[in-house]
Amino acid sequence: MKASLSPKVIALLMAAGLFAGCSSTGEKMDEESYGSDVEAIDQDGGATVYDGTDEEGGISSSAMTEEERREAREQQQQAEQEALRDITTFYFDFDTSEIKPEARDVLVAHARYLADNPRVQVRAEGHADERGSKEYNLALGERRAKAVERFLIVNGASRGQIETISYGEEKPAVRGSGEEAWAQNRRVELKFD
């Protein structure tokens, strides 16, 4: 007769072993057991982070006032908006002037910047790939530039701050024929003065 354990019994034994291995012995550990660079969470719920020196101290999250936290959040948001404004080229699908969803947050950041800085001017330069006639590509580049202009205005920029121009296929970003080159040439570039 074979003796075998059912899978339920094996799982129960493993769980009991895990529970026993993770249980506390009730001993209290002090800071010296971990080293001098670790401090426990304080009573107010904040934590002190080791600053790399042998002196007591560090950066405590509980030491920040609500106003300092608000300022830190505002600075972070401002830095994020500035990073978005580093993107000044927006790409389009073939034969369309519809702004892609991934470009919208970046364009909103540009619109807010223009709204906050009424003396700043921007030129929206529309481009197309080499397919199609010169006249058609000039018109397509113009539609793309105008789409970006409308988006910026709807999101806070002034019409007087924006100039549009189309270069059609005349100023390609990449030379060559093929989808990879064409995709990079179907664009609007924002040029700030």
Check pLDDT > 80 for residue 1.
no
Token couple for 53:
């020196």
Three-state SS string across 125-179, please?
EEECCCCCCHHHHHHHHHHHHHHHHHHHHHCCCCHHHEEEEEEECCCCCCCCCCH
| Architecture, CATH, for domain 89-192 | 2-Layer Sandwich (3.30)
pLDDT of residue 32: 47
Whether 183 shows a pLDDT value over 70: the answer reads: yes
The per-residue pLDDT for 85 is 85
Residues 6+ apart with CB under 8 A from 126: 140, 141, 142, 143, 144, 145, 146, 148, 164, 165, 166, 167, 168, 188
pLDDT tens figures, 59-97: 555 678 888 889 888 888 888 888 888 999 999 999 999
pLDDT at position 34, please? 44
Assign 31 a pLDDT band (cuts: 50, 70, 90): very low
Place of tokens 């003796």: 3
pLDDT of 40 strictly over 60: no
- pLDDT of residue 110 exceeding 60, the answer is yes
- The 8-class DSSP code of residue 91 comes to E
For residue 175, give both structure tokens: 């030379």
- Structural element, H or E, at residue 123: strand 122-127
**What is the residue extent of each domain of the chain?**
89-192
**To the nearest 10°, the Cα dihedral for 146, 150, 156, 157?**
20
Tokens of 76: 């972070």
**pLDDT tens per residue, range 111-168:** 999 999 999 999 999 999 999 999 999 999 999 999 999 999 999 999 999 999 999 9
* Strand pairing report for 162-168 and 122-127: parallel
